[in-house]
Amino acid sequence: MNKADFKTLMVEAHQIAVSHGWYERTPLDGDTQCNLCSELMEAWDEYAHNRAIDEVYITKDQAGNYKENGVPVELADFAIRVFDAMEHWEAPEDIIEQGLSMGDRLIARYVETSGGMDKILLNTLLVYLMMLVTDASDRGELATFVTAGVQTLECWCNEHEIDLLAQVRRKMEYNKTRSYRHGGKRV
């Protein structure tokens, strides 16, 4: 992913989150980390319920709107939460560049050690992303790590024929239709 796309998605995701009440109180970094991990666990739950890693299926939400579901949708939710947090944190360009560069180095290492991103199992990817989310010692490191995570995630998705950016855009359009704080959620 290039820096321009990343920054555009940061602004869009944060505008949607603000307009739906997610910043009535400033979320703690721990809230953000927990929400990021929950999206990854929702992807795992989809897989555990016998969904293919590239399967997207349609259901109706509580308001009767059609909603996409599946591993790709939950991975997109993770990326959207990263974009939102990065904009909220007003992450400087050098942090974004460091994260994207770190992601590129991690991808190269994975390709070298595993024989390709297509060989990396979903569980390995999710654990790796959770480690990036939870191992940071401060907000700057967290911003760098989650940016690297999105870069790595996009590469993994490409190798598994999942268009992460298209899924992110579709999910953000759906999020615009959701109720305020998704029906009154706390975080």
The number of C-alpha atoms within 13 Å of 15 and in the hemisphere containing its C-beta is: 9
- Going from N- to C-terminal start, the domains of the chain cover 3-184
Q: Is the pLDDT of residue 35 over 90?
A: yes
- The residue length of the chain stands at 187
Q: Which two tokens stand for residue 118?
A: 């297509």
Angle, to 10 degrees, between the axis of helix 139-159 and the axis of helix 71-88?
150
Q: Is the pLDDT of residue 17 over 90?
A: yes
Residue type, 36: L
Query: Quick one: pLDDT band at residue 115, thresholds 50, 70, 90?
Result: confident
| The token pair that represents 183 in the structure block | 């029906």
Tell me if 133 sits within 8 A of 146, measured CB to CB: yes
State the chain's mean pLDDT as an integer.
92
Confidence label for 119 from pLDDT (cuts 50, 70 and 90): confident
At residue 184 the predicted structure's pLDDT band, cuts being 50, 70 and 90, is low
Q: Does residue 182 surpass a pLDDT of 90?
A: no
- Judged by DSSP in three states, 69 sits in strand
The pTM of the whole model exceeds 0.75: yes
